[in-house]
Amino acid sequence: MEISYLRISVTDKCNLKCFYCRPDNMDYIPHQEILRYEEIAKLVKAMTKYGLKKVRITGGEPLVRPQIENLVYLLKQIPQIEDIGMTTNGITLAQHAEKLKKSGLNRLNISIDSLKPDLFYQITKGRLEDVLEGIKVSKKLGFDPIKVNAVIIKGLNDNEALDFVEFGIEYGVEVRFIEMMPLGQGYIKWEEEMVKPLDEIKQKIEEKYGRLLPSFSIGSGAAKVYQLPKYKTKIGFITPISNPFCDGCSKLRLTAEGSIKLCLRTDEEIPVKEVLRNGSEEDLDKFLQKVLIEKELSNMKIQKSNYSFSDCARVMTSIGG
């Protein structure tokens, strides 16, 4: 098995408070427990031997970690890494975008769950206009494509699908709709009724714009991507609930405190910090071989069983979404 993609969470802290992602009573990871940038780069470099080419920096909110551009720069120095992306809420992007660009960040995914300032605030406790400013600045700097991710929650923002498409056309960004996953039960109140199957959203868009044509977008990963007729805009759908995409998954996640998370459907994690901090290069290589075997076993287990996202006790903000 090859591992070609790693999502790297650099912090569990966030400057927003999305109700489905960040519980009130969250304990933060103590600073000394968080992986240093050099440790992350060391791991990424070691993983290139097993096919790693693409990384995505996330969190928590990656832009709240000081000098995050230094990590981008370190990763950029690894020749096998072809693509460095970042998922951000965009709140402070306007202030960071230039440094990120100069350090070698290739792509940006920006989360926006509502285009209505009031509802945006209700969901996130943040200001939509800050995010929009971040997108404008990033566009000017030449980030392309910029993808805007909207988690669709029935009864809350599911009536905004067409607004998001118009927004995509106006701002020249790709729009991706995401079904909400029941992660972190016990911390987060999740009900099945909150999930809006995205084929209904797709149908609504097609009624207005005509048939969406299957397309491709760099780094589309789990998203099914379509071309909007008559426009440059692409629309993506990520459907972990209505149409799971686990077959052949080779995605790994690195949590901020240094565990490799094999899959979002289980709590299986393999701590890597000790070997990164105190092991030899050979120890790290042996560790990675073990991770590859465990990932394959985990994939087989998921295929044969009824694991669901509700078997994952962590909320997304502490995993690295």
Give the interface with ligand SAM as residue ranges (CB under 6 A): 14, 20-21, 58-59, 61, 87-89, 111, 149, 151, 178, 180-181, 183, 316-317, 321
Least Å distance, CB 296 to ligand SAM, is: 25
Least Å distance, CB 178 to ligand SAM, is: 5
Distance CA 167, CA 148 (A): 10
Nearer to ligand SAM, 58 or 259 (CB): 58
Answer for the pair 270, 234: CB distance below 8 angstroms, yes or no. no
Nearer to ligand SAM, 102 or 189 (CB): 189
Distance CA 67, CA 64 (A): 9
Nearer to ligand SAM, 111 or 259 (CB): 111
Q: What phi and psi, each to the nearest 5 degrees, are found at residue 177?
A: -95, 140
Least Å distance, CB 278 to ligand SAM, is: 29
Q: What phi and psi, each to the nearest 5 degrees, are found at residue 46?
A: -65, -35
SS3 156: coil
Least Å distance, CB 182 to ligand SAM, is: 7
Kindly list the strands in the beta sheet with 107-111, ordered across the sheet, starting from the edge strand earlier in the chain.
213-214, 224-227, 234-238, 174-179, 146-152, 107-111, 83-88, 54-58, 5-9, 251-254, 259-261, 269-271
Least Å distance, CB 167 to ligand SAM, is: 16
Least Å distance, CB 199 to ligand SAM, is: 17
From the CA atom positions of the chain, what is the Rg in Å?
Answer: 19
Nearer to ligand SAM, 6 or 46 (CB): 6
Least Å distance, CB 58 to ligand SAM, is: 5
Taking CA atoms, 288 is separated from 187, 268, 285, 309, in Å, by 32, 15, 5, 25
Nearer to ligand SAM, 259 or 317 (CB): 317
SS3 47: helix
Q: How many of the other CB atoms lie within 10 Å of CB of 165? A: 21
Nearer to ligand SAM, 89 or 255 (CB): 89
Least Å distance, CB 87 to ligand SAM, is: 4
Nearer to ligand SAM, 60 or 258 (CB): 60
Q: How many of the other CB atoms lie within 10 Å of CB of 18? A: 19
Nearer to ligand SAM, 42 or 176 (CB): 176
Distance CA 70, CA 68 (A): 5
Answer for the pair 235, 208: CB distance below 8 angstroms, yes or no. no
